[in-house]
Structure 1
Amino acid sequence: MSVDDTSDTRHDARTEPDPPTRSGPPGTWSGLRPLLLRLHFYAGVFVAPFLVVAALSGLLYVFTPQLDEAVYHDIVHVPDQSTSVPLAEQVDAGMAARPGDDLLAVRPAPTGTDATQVIFEAPDLPASYRRTAFVDPHTAEVTGVLETYGSGQALPIRAWVDNLHRGLHLGDAGRLYSELAASWLWVVALGGVVLWLSKRRRRTLLRPEPGATGRRRVLTWHGATGLWVAVGLVFLSATGLTWSQHAGANITDVRSALSWETPAVSTALPESAMPGPDVGLDRVVAVARDHGVVGEIEVVGPAMPGEAYVVQQVGRQWPSQQDSVAIDPATAQVVETLRFEDYPLMAKLARWGIDAHMGLLFGWVNQLVLVALGTGLLSVIFWGYRMWWLRRPRRDGASAFGRPPERGAWRRVPGTVLAPLVVLLAFVAYFVPLLGVSLLAFWAWDALLGWRARRSKVRQEAGS
């Protein structure tokens, strides 16, 4: 939203604006600031509605783990008992509940009060959905079958809200909204910070100006709050883009080119491996736990002869537990081990970033931070629209818009600054396509308004 602090004496005549802080060659900032301010304004007006939807659905998503626990407690949790049945028997019970379904993976109960998850492929459901039978590890009784979503095994409520936040339940077309919001969020946040810090003010930067009234009061709330949440908003934007369709694909390509992908153990057995009868899930899990793969784990069986079992930790909280091992199904020998500490740094950052974005990495503290960021974003947007409303045209025909950023100010920017800036914008627009397309749309709209204004001026001059 616009943070133009041009004084409007109709709203606040107590103070005069402080002189701008100049930096760089003469004319550089005086040309760039109106351009940045106009961009910040257009993005605030036209992209803010998408950000509101993303923020509201994101705030709802934050609390879905607790909602799922409350609604599905009797399915995912069981009474603790002193004895348990073999894991293979639990899986057989789950498969009996879904005859004909293809087994995908098994998540043994991590504690005595959790149910074992027997996970099946669900080709009749949307992508990333599965069907999961929950089995009491003490009695092998099926407590229920639920549609689950994603690698995190989201339960139905969380899955529904996740798809709402991601794409409004409109498929790939709906995902354009969230990508547009994520593409512009970092631009709006950083642009607002630059504009807020670009003038020396008598008021403090980190809190609203005491005693300010009218639009100036709204501006100080808008700017100070935006400064507090800016880093978090940039983080949410960056991590959100990794899930997007177009920018996300470019990010994946870059990670691949730089060998920053998340590694995985190989399922291929060595040529020296001897065929034989399968040792079974219980033996495989016991061997994996002896090798330090403990806590919440997922077991994926061999897809065909000559492949190994893969047992991987699936914990999403700090400290990260993402170790995995490949185990020979005939000998129960560990043929490959991958520790999270051996991941490339960028793969670790991606794992931490995604889990923090989802509110999982630091538990309830993570959830509270996300609530603060979402609430802060909604507040900044509200104050931005409030400033716009306070400067609307009045009924008497007089404009209440104050001094708008002048057109053509960019011409005062030296070529040594403008040329690299254009190249940088083109580079960013290429890797974040929706940002580039919408930026062109804003430019075309602004150019049309400028053409209309010039045409109107010429007609007025001709009529006089």
Structure 2
Amino acid sequence: MTTTAAPSRTSFAWRGLFLRLHFYAGVLVGPFILIAALTGVLYALTPQLESWVYSDQLRVPASSQQLPLSKQVDAALATSPQGSLVAVRPAPEPGATTRVLFSEKGLGESERRAVFVDPGTGRVTGDLVVYGSSGVLPLRTTLDQLHRNLMLGEPGRLYSELAASWLWVVALGGLVLWISRARNSKRIKTHGLIGVWVLAGALFLSATGLTWSAYAGENVAMLRTAVGWSTPKLTMPGAGESHGDHGSSSSSAGGHSEIDTVLGVAKLSGIDAKAVEVSLPAESGGAWKVAEIEKGLPSQGDAVAVHGGEVVGSLKFADFPLGAKLTRWGIDAHMGVLFGWPNQLLLLLVGGGLVASVVLGYRMWWKRRPTSGFGRPTPRGQWRKAPPGALVGLGLATLLVGWFVPLLGISLVAFLAVDVLLGRRAKTTTS
């Protein structure tokens, strides 16, 4: 007969410490993780829905003949858009429309007005506000902002950063608890089992989410710069500041006349992705920029600067530092576009697992609450039972992580303060 060895007092103390931290993080940060998981899953599943909702703007009958790109821009300008012509995204495939992009007063950060043109006939099929380098349409933009900041602007970003800051802590803490329970008990909770299955995905989403965050994101950028992993930028000879609302569509009417030549030169230099963006010079006499905007693998992120009918600058994705490539791939995978529909499916499974784990965690807490009569909470003061040397090491590591991920550090201090106050309240009540 096989017997299970009783856990040592030290291991029990460590388990109690992790259990108490896991409990507080789960109860207090769980709602943020739940919202981030739900909105993230919705965002990842919207590309197909977006194609259906905006089919009138995005799809046209395929044509074997296409108008020159400059003529397509003329068609967009004929609609008298309010703003400056800044870029053009030629139709990436037969049956797709060309996007002619304008800056416009009143639009939000990273937003542009897109006029959609049938490349075969020059017919304008509509116009929409697009967002970000991916050019997502209003439906996905709404879900993106809901996921990023709950539609509350910059202050709302604290919610998503708090969720990303704690997700990896909750996931790894749960793993420790699951392993310790599996070694000493035959009962395995569904909550813990789901957490183990989605562990890798949770750690990935936490890490990539922090790169976008307001405070930890700055530290990530500083670290990448320090180790030489920053994303390189294309040198633009003769370029000044980026486009702003400094002109009108009429003033830009003649500025695009050489766009066909520019695109041809770029293609001869190796720009061969289906999806590209041609950006007009930021100032008179400046260089044009032609960049590949294909997502997925293999990544196509090359870019060239064109001036006077020749390439005057180039940037190859293959020459990016490894860290810059990993950042690009990580962001694309986080958005669900790196591997196409398999990427979306993985995000659905991980996001669904996180939702189920949070809900089951609250169910466990409710069943084990002090007034339920079922079980009893882990007592306070577990840290006193841990070895002093190890506790000092853990404290130093916590300070370092708390500095690098500020919202984690601040909220951890708040958790500890709440725990101390509750402990004092309990002593006062019983005395």
Same fold (TM over 0.5): yes
SS at match of 2:312: strand
Unaligned stretches of 5+ residues in structure 2: 240-254
Instruction: Find out whether 1:326 has 2:305 as its counterpart.
Output: yes
TM superposition shift of 1:54: 1.1
321 and 176 in structure 1: CA distance in 2 versus 1, 3 angstrom threshold? same
TM alignment of 1:45-84, pairs within 5 A: 45-84=27-66
Q: Quick check: 299-308 or 57-66, which moved more?
A: 299-308
| Map of 1:358 onto structure 2 | 335
Distance 1:98 1:248, change over 3 A: farther
Q: Report the AA paired with residue 76 of structure 1.
A: L
1:307 counterpart (269, 286, 299): 286
Shift of 1:278: 8.5
Counterpart mapping for 1:13-162 below 5 A = 19=5, 28-162=10-144
Determine the structure 2 residue equivalent to 1:405.
Answer: 378
Looking at structure 2, the residues matched to 404 and 63 of structure 1 have their Cα atoms a distance apart, in angstroms, of 39
Q: Which amino acid aligns with 2:196?
A: L
Larger Rg: 1
Preserved CA contact (<8 Å) 1:19 1:200: no
Confirm or deny that 1:446 pairs with 2:423: no
Task: Give the deviation of 1:306 after TM superposition.
Answer: 4.9
Gaps of 5+ in 1: 1-16, 204-208, 210-215, 271-276, 460-464
Partner of 2:249: none
Deviations 1:389-435 (A, max 9, x none): 222345xxxx6252432322212333321222111111111121111
- Aligned-pair CA distance for 1:172: 1.0
8 A Cα contact 2:256 2:280, kept in partner: no
Partner letter of residue 232 of structure 2?
A: P
Shift of 1:19: 4.7
Q: Tell me if structure 1 keeps the 8 A contact 2:100–2:115.
A: yes
Letter in 2 for 1:253: M
Shift of 1:122: 2.8
Matches within 5 A, 1:139-218: 139-201=121-183
TM-score by length of 1: 0.85
Distance 1:371 1:57 in 2: 11
Give 1:431's aligned residue: 404
Tell me by how many angstroms 1:126 deviates: 1.9
CA shift, 1:20, in A, is 5.5
Letter in 1 for 2:323: M
Give the equivalent residue in structure 2 for 1:244: 213
The answer to whether the 8 A contact 1:222-1:384 is kept is yes
Q: Which moved more, 1:30-39 or 1:441-450?
A: 30-39
**Alignment pair present for 1:281 and 2:265:** no
Q: Measure the CA separation in 2 of the matches of 1:319 and 1:111.
A: 18
Deviation of 1:193 after TM superposition, in Å, equals: 0.5
Q: What code does the residue aligned with 1:236 have?
A: L
Asked whether the 8 Å contact 2:85–2:103 carries over to 1, the reply is: yes
Q: Let me know the Cα RMSD of the aligned residues.
A: 2.1
Q: Which residue of 2 aligns with 1:268?
A: 237
Question: What residue in structure 2 maps to residue 419 of structure 1?
Answer: 392
| Paired AA for residue 78 in structure 2 | A
Task: Name the CA distance, whole Å, in 2 between partners of 1:135 and 1:298.
Answer: 15
- State yes or no: 1:253 paired with 2:254: no
Which one-letter code corresponds to 1:357 in the other structure? H
How many angstroms apart in 2 are the aligned matches of 1:99 and 1:319?
36
Equivalent residue number for residue 248 of structure 2: none
Aligned to 1:372: 349
Distance 1:174-1:190 versus aligned 2 partners, 3 A rule: same
Is the alpha carbon distance of 1:43 and 1:33 closer, same or farther for their aligned partners in structure 2, counting shifts above 3 Å? same
> Is the contact made by 1:21 and 1:199 (CA closer than 8 Å) also made in structure 2?
no
For residues 341 and 385 of structure 1, what CA distance do their matches in structure 2 show?
47
- 8 A Cα contact 1:33 1:195, kept in partner: yes
Whichever residue aligns with residue 342 of structure 1, its letter is D
Match of 1:13 in 2: none
Count residues with an aligned counterpart: 413
Q: Is the 8 A contact 1:21 1:200 kept in 2?
A: no
Report the residue type matching 2:280 in the other structure. Answer: G
1:385 offset after TM fit, Å? 1.3
Distance in 2 between residues matched to 1:83 and 1:424, nearest whole Å: 63
Instruction: Indicate the residue corresponding to 1:206 in structure 2.
Output: none
Q: Find the aligned partners of 1:21 and 1:155 in 2 and give their Cα distance.
A: 56
Cα deviation code 1:417-459 (max 9, x no counterpart):
12221111111111211111111111011001111222233x2
Is structure 2 residue 235 aligned with structure 1 residue 235? no
Secondary structure in structure 2 of the residue aligned to 1:201? helix
With over 3 angstroms needed to count, the CA separation of the structure-2 counterparts of 1:263 and 1:403, relative to structure 1, is: same
Partner residue, 1:5: none
Change (3 A) 1:130 1:21: farther
Indicate whether 1:222 and 2:222 are aligned.
no
Contact 1:106/1:116, CA 8 A, preserved across alignment? yes
Please give the alpha-carbon distance, in whole angstroms, between the structure 2 residues aligned to 1:78 and 1:156.
20
**Residues 88 and 67 from structure 1, CA distance in 2 versus in 1: closer, same or farther, beyond 3 angstroms?**
same
2:238 and 2:401 map into 1 onto residues whose CA distance is 43
In structure 2, the CA distance between the partners of 1:94 and 1:350, relative to structure 1 (3 Å rule), is same
